[in-house]
Amino acid sequence: MTANQVKPIAAIVGAGRTKFGELWYDDPERLLFDAGLSCMESVDKGIHRNQLEACFFGSFLYQATNKMGLVPGHMSKELGLNVPITMTEAACASGGSAIYSACLALRSGQYDTVLVGGFEKMTDRSNKISDDLMFAADPSEFGAGFTFPGLYATMMSRYIYDYSEGKQECEDALAMVSSKNHHHAIKNDFAQFRREFTPEAVKKSSLVAYPIRLLHCSPVSDGAAALILTVPEKASMYTDTPIYIISSQLATHDVSIYTRESITSIKTTKLASTAAFKETGLSYKDIQIAEVHDCFTIEEAMFLEDSGYYKKGEAWKGIYESYEANKGLKHVPYVNGQNELIVNPGGGLKADGHPVGATGVRQVYEAWAQLRGQAGGQQVEEKLDTALCHNIGGTGAICTVHILRR
């Protein structure tokens, strides 16, 4: 089966976002409003607020960072709407979970047109953000002194121990992920960082939680992103070039890494991507671009294995060889035999920024823009049909996978 033959679940008829970064002058509800407005304005044939039947929003830390609750009330006030608004909290997968909920609502036939949004305001309490992010971990992990980078560093340490075969190239590859994503963001007008970093610079950056250094980590960011989804049958009311969501999957697992059978792979990525491929009849060979949750570079490497693109323990070899062979290209693909997969064409979480609740929605925004050929400077030059978006919460306790096609 090809992607074109798969029956769509929903159509994306509009998408918008704010710039990601340190947005000192914006309140969180303002960010979401701005993303929503740019999303409305992106609808080719126009849309009016009153055509929105429901809203699905995702965010993680707003209660701690902004002493704010009841987002539906805030957004009702901002939008001037009295429609059902629901709020999803799933840490860094809050955005992906909001999209999943919206897809469920459209699948059910309850609504025809809905607004999806994700937002986060992390810099308003930056001195406490390391502590606050641990809300998405097990309390015993906090008690053991862990930070989020520390948890991923623990996975990375074990990955290196189990699979590097003692070769330095493994650690080099995990630095190359960062270099590649920074390179992809150079022409992304919305990105938080538009600077090149060599793998050597990544490996010399300041220490956070060894073996993780600053440039292995996605940043602390503010930002929001929004989408308008309709049932496929209504898409033509709004645009002639809708992007279809053909799979929407979500899987969950233990919040704690210490209880998991393996800490060198993410079970939820395996479950959600397997379910998405099953739902569509596609395989990774059909995907040209992937928006991958590279909160830390090890997570992108684990995705490449958990999704089946590379064999277990071999992603680092694929990353290393692909980077060495293709560095300098506008987009550096991961090569596997005859297959080429471009991951994070706009810079991913690493360079575009990671306002956690916005990320899952921003990923779909990026895939939407790429598939429509409207991604601006970071547009992938090859013809694109199919994209995959992979959004992780916590250390992998939740994962959403969405497959999109033209």
Instruction: Tell me which residues touch another protein (CB under 8 A).
Output: 127-128, 130-131, 134, 138-147, 149-151, 153-158, 160-161, 207-212, 256-259, 263
Q: Which amino acid belongs to residue 368?
A: W
**CA–CA separation, 203 and 350 (whole Å):** 15
Identity of the residue, 162 or 382, whose beta carbon is nearer to another protein in the bound complex: 162
User: Residue 254 or residue 321: which is nearer to another protein going by CB?
Assistant: 254
For residues 343 and 290, the answer to whether their CB atoms sit within 8 Å is: yes
Which residue among 182, 216, 293, 354 is the active-site one?
354
Q: Smallest distance from the beta carbon of 150 to another protein, in angstroms? A: 5
* Strand intervals (E) in 74-162: 85-88, 113-121
Select which of 92, 103, 217, 295 is catalytic. 92
The minimum distance between CB 280 and another protein, in angstroms, equals 30
CA distance 12 to 365: 9
Q: Is 39 tagged catalytic? A: no
By beta-carbon proximity to another protein, the closer residue of 139 and 376 is: 139
Nearer to another protein, 58 or 199 (CB): 199
Backbone angles phi, psi at 15, to 5 degrees: -155, 145
Cα distance between residue 51 and residue 234, in whole Å: 12
- Shortest approach of another protein to residue 22 CB, angstroms? 18
Strand partners, 342: 289
Q: Rounded to 5 degrees, what angle do the CA atoms 192, 193, 198 make?
A: 155
Q: Give the strand pairing for 243-252 and 10-17.
A: antiparallel
User: To the nearest whole angstrom, how small is the minimum distance from the Cβ of residue 286 to another protein?
Assistant: 35
Q: Of 111, 103, 118, which is closest to residue 10 (Cα–Cα)?
A: 103
Catalytic residue status for 354: yes
Positions marked active-site: 92, 354
